[in-house]
A and B are shown apart, each in its own frame.
Chain A
Amino acid sequence: MSTATTHHDDHHGDHPTGLARWLFSTNHKEIGSMYLIFSLLMFFVGGAMALVIRAELFAPGLQLVNPEFFNQMTTMHALVMIFGAVMPAFVGLANWMVPMMIGAPDMALPRMNNWSFWILPFAFTLLLATLFMPSGAPASGWTLYPPLSLQGGNSLAFVILAIHLMGISSIMGAINIIATILNMRAPGMTLLRMPLFVWTWLITAFLLIAVMPVLAGAVTMLLTDRFFGTSFFNAAGGGDPVLYQHIFWFFGHPEVYIMILPAFGIVSEIIPTFSRKPLFGYTSMVYATASIAFLSFIVWAHHMFTVGMPLGAMLFFMYATMIIAVPTGIKIFNWIATMWRGSMSFETPMLFALGFVVLFTIGGLSGVMLAIVPANFQYHDTYFVVAHFHYVLVTGAVYAIMAAVYYWLPKWTGYMYDEMLGKIHFWWSTIWVNVLFFPQHYLGLAGMPRRIPDYAVQFAEFNMISSIGGFMFGFGQLLFAYIIWKCVRGGEKATAQVWDGARGLEWTVPSPAPLHTFDTPPLVEDNVAVHRDKLT
């Protein structure tokens, strides 16, 4: 077991205060906090856009916005939520927790860490500024498929530059995480003793480095097609519009797992803690994560079964996609086996983790349905797909992020959050998120295409239900912000251990975690420290 760490700030030189403290910070905890606050802000910006969409879809007919603006909202909602809310939240969690979980004093490359974060506000200023430009924000969907995306105005250049900046930020963050995990582990923290959150982030970081440049290449070709007369994607000039989709989804599918693998890691930390039992099948969890990461590179074309591919290609992508169900299933079975005959308690982090397991599984099962090509010809580009990916991203990724925030908030602030409010937040969210997204399965099956601002009257009832769910879920998230605010301000003092079932190095430092932890590396002597059985 590691020793609790002494902390003394004095030999770390000067500590700027006020704005300079945050602008120039190279501290993993401060940068982690900035990432998380930024992410929460973007969550509300993207959420507001979603509410515009749901308000317009509340009833048939156009009542609030014109179709062009509606398309801008769907596009911006996705870009903001993916690149602004979910990804930075995971990077923020990694910043805070990875060094503390492996017994490192900080990230390996602290100055680059500062830069990775501070790029983001500029990137999103560029992106959001397009809303106020004469030609408007991008309106061709977050996938930016040409030729449609090339029809827009000059704001496309801003969007592409913003995506480049986000990509640079992500790649630098990923490099930092890999360097930290591979070089800065405390003595005795072997790879197969690392907490699952660290493992999933290590694998995610490799995915990021592999695919963000692919996205950069795709959007750069869009840029030159639009502004410099090239014809990469212009059939009239000898190019191929489908080529873009192949490149985009070669990025896009691993990107989906970038947003879910760290969530798997979080849930794998929380379930053992509140089941008071070691994680079941640790090694198989690691291998399953690695398998999912590998498979993510060979399934991209399942996003585009309707573009007209050779039969052999469709069969390959169908089989490869179906195989993903195997490692994903292993994970779910392992989580349930962890709970089985545990001594469970149901604090807010556990509730969100359990909500994740149930609702992510629903999203995973509809994913299996989507893999079946002949049926995919019906499901593709309908609300069935919208329901599917919101189950895996909202009740999957976002739920895991919320679980993580509740789980580690006492460690960050030194105070317990308001448990009653946390539970209300969980139940409120869980009821309404299902009212929001479940009826969208029906809409898709009944024939409602996605990305339409208005619809035939037979879709009216389920759209109205979905919109009500959307507003209730959306406004309910203000409670989340309030709970965090309240916890930062004060509350019941948290102990170092915080949760009686928690294991791992982060729980050996005081709460709140001092600015500098593990100046002297702890010694990790057995597996128990990281939630594993003594014997393995």
Chain B
Amino acid sequence: MKRTNELIVAIAVLAVISVITWGVFAVGDNMPRGVTTYAQDVYQLHNIVLGIVTVIGVLVFTAMFTSIVLHRRSKGFQAAKFSHSTRAEIIWTAIPVVILVVMAVPATRVLIDMENTAGAEMNIKITGYQWLWKYEYIEDDISFFSALDRDSNRARQLGSGINPRDVENYLLEVDNRLIVPVDTRIRFLLTADDVIHSWWVPELGWKRDAIPGMINEAWTLIEEEGVYRGQCAELCGADHGFMPIVVEAVSREAYAEWVAGQRQELADAAHDAARLWTREELMDHGSRIYQAQCASCHQDDGRGIEPAFPALVREGVPTGDLEHHLQTVLNGREGTAMTGFRDRLQPQDIAAAMTFARNAWTDEEGEVIQPSTIADLDQG
């Protein structure tokens, strides 16, 4: 009689727990399916393992709650005396081992595939900086920085008064996207300039740390055109949450066109670095560069957050003389979060940002720094 009783209760408990489990899965999000071959392998693997552990959990909890329902003192249930069973111990050691092997086999297969970076058709070097990314297309000789876009950056300031819901792709949009061709086996080389970052786009199926002084490898082959968004995944300082990644996968033809366009821009930039700029041009360009590169530490009003992030301006007077300012911007300051921008920005960007910083918050006319000055210093 006892056995039947236990069976009936167990079935009822199983039903209740299954419904709860179903509910838990129904309300939640799952991992994205992914747009590369092995991202989908990872997704399948995740689902298989999630399924297995869910079944194990449901069975374990069914046994436990069946006991809780039936074997209560309040119902006058007398305690049994048994306290060990070698057979039971062997069974519940052996079965988990078998289940683990079942999970380990596909996991090993997918991992071996993921780690095989051979046969790349193109290489992209990714460098993490506080708090933006640099992308270098090795074969096509293109390189640029990619930082949080202006709208998100404004809205995310403490007490900005801007509702993030009004900003399109809040915190997941950048100024320059990583453009890549579909159906191309791309190898990524990851490193960092200052601290450890981690490059992660969920739709690609992996993340990999970008570590100063080391180069990590990973690969992808995107099968669907589209825009895929991700974020830095390793705590890298104050603005860790504000260095997104946006990958735009385009057709191979569109990619070739984009490369040609970039070449033209490079030629224009070289011309820009050499010519003389007006104050207005520098201020206008400088405000954009300042927003993207400087404002996260030194703040929109140039007052910084002392003592970690020094003020650039005090009572309307730019702090530091021009020479000191130049050295700091070009070479950085050791032992602080300030990195050198010599290799990170074009001469006209540095000149414009410095001009902006020395003029934006003062009533007097401050110095104008010409791109050619920076370019000459760079060579010197």
Chain A residues near B (Cβ < 8 Å): 60-63, 65-68, 71, 134-136, 139-141, 145, 147-148, 151, 153, 234-236, 240-242, 275-284, 306-308, 311, 314-315, 318-319, 322-323, 325-326, 329-330, 332-333, 336-337, 339-346, 354, 357-358, 361-362, 365-366, 368-369, 372-375, 377-378, 380-382, 438-439, 441-443, 445-447, 449-457, 460, 462, 532-533, 536
Chain A contacts for B78, CB-based, 8 A: 343
Q: Give 11 A-B contacts (CB < 8 Å), ordered by A residue.
A: A147-B212, A235-B211, A333-B60, A339-B67, A341-B71, A357-B64, A377-B42, A450-B235, A453-B241, A454-B156, A454-B242
Report if A343-B170 is in contact (Cβ < 8 Å); known contacts: A377-B206, A453-B241. no
Chain A contacts for B79, CB-based, 8 A: 275-277, 341-343
Report if A336-B64 is in contact (Cβ < 8 Å); known contacts: A307-B211, A361-B57, A372-B103. yes
* Extra inter-chain contacts (17) besides given A61-B156, A308-B217, A456-B169, CB under 8 Å: A60-B171, A62-B160, A66-B238, A67-B238, A139-B237, A141-B235, A151-B195, A151-B335, A153-B307, A241-B212, A280-B84, A311-B112, A326-B100, A339-B71, A341-B79, A372-B49, A373-B111
Q: Is the CB of A323 within 8 A of B308?
A: no
Give B258 Cβ to nearest chain A Cβ, in Å: 26
B38, B49, B88, B207: which contacts A337 (Cβ < 8 A)? B88
Q: Is the CB of B103 within 8 A of A322?
A: yes
CB-based nearest A residue for B30: A445
Q: Is the CB of A380 within 8 A of B157?
A: no
Q: Is the CB of A381 within 8 A of B93?
A: no
Chain A contacts for B41, CB-based, 8 A: 374
B residues contacting the other copy or chain, number (CB 8 A)? 104
B103, B108, B165: which contacts A315 (Cβ < 8 A)? B108
Q: Is the CB of A235 within 8 A of B84?
A: no
Chain A contacts for B308, CB-based, 8 A: 68, 135-136, 153
A276, A308, A344, A454: which contacts B67 (Cβ < 8 A)? A344
| B89 close to A (CB within 8 Å) | yes
Q: Is the CB of B202 within 8 A of A447?
A: yes
CA distance A229 to B71 in the complex (A): 66
Chain A contacts for B96, CB-based, 8 A: 325-326, 329
Q: Is the CB of B84 within 8 A of A277?
A: no
Give A157 Cβ to nearest chain B Cβ, in Å: 14
B83, B110, B196: which contacts A147 (Cβ < 8 A)? B196
Chain A CB within 10 Å, residue with most, of B28, B29, B96, B308: B29
Give A392 Cβ to nearest chain B Cβ, in Å: 14
Give A149 Cβ to nearest chain B Cβ, in Å: 9
4 A-B pairs with least C-beta separation: A235-B213, A452-B241, A308-B216, A442-B28
Chain B contacts for A234, CB-based, 8 A: 213
Chain B contacts for A322, CB-based, 8 A: 100, 103-104
CB-based nearest B residue for A327: B93
CA distance A372 to B99 in the complex (A): 13
